[in-house]
Amino acid sequence: MAGKPKLHYTKGRGKMESIRWLLAAAGVEFEEEFIETKEDLEKLRTDGLLMFQQVPMVEIDGMKMVQTRAILSYIAGKYNLYGKDLKERAWIDMYVEGTTDLMGMIMYLPFQPADTKEKNLALIIERATTRYFPVYEKALKDHGNDYLVGNKLSWADIHLLEAILMAEECKPDILSAFPLLQAFKGRISNIPTIKKFLQPGSQRKPPTDEKFVAFVRKIFNI
């Protein structure tokens, strides 16, 4: 029997958080080996474990996988969260790319200069409510099912819930104009594996604070 996947990253969210979400939603237990010093990162590099010298890196099924998108696609495919055919996979990919764009904006907000944060936060809220969330609201209305693609849980649903919760950390009532997304959030949050991941004490990581920003800048020289 193969061992648990092992995730190599810092103790923060970053690009690894969506991988944690997907594994947790699939009901897969995983281990984490945290990068806590520059030396930890350098050792992964000098040992030849990072194909492009970058993390996230996930050890799974005998592979040392890098590149967030590749890791997520593999996990989604392995655990039947990637649609039933190529057409469904294409829809999942489109929805995931949209939520990835939105989450990227939110992810980098704490790393931006203080004098631009307010403007960028306003842009995030504007984009979420005029560009991204209307697409998912319409998809749920047109599709008429509980899920975005097909009639079963997929990577697209898990990613959207993660994006919703991140957006709500920016503006708690951001879903006020989106009743179907509000209902979607309630449904997906109550799937047992996801509900467990949302409980205190899980491997979900907290929002990025100033202390963690300073830590990341030090480790990655940014």
Q: List the domains of the chain with CATH numbers.
A: 6-79+198-212 (3.40.30.10), 86-191 (1.20.1050.10)
* pTM, 2 dp: 0.94
Please, what sign has the CA dihedral across residues 36, 37, 39, 44? positive
Question: What pLDDT score does 2 carry?
Answer: 62
> What's the rounded Cα separation, in Å, for the pair 64 and 59?
4
Which tens digit of pLDDT belongs to each residue from 23-75? 999 999 999 999 999 999 999 999 999 999 899 999 999 999 999 999 999 99
Name the β-bridge partners of 9. 34
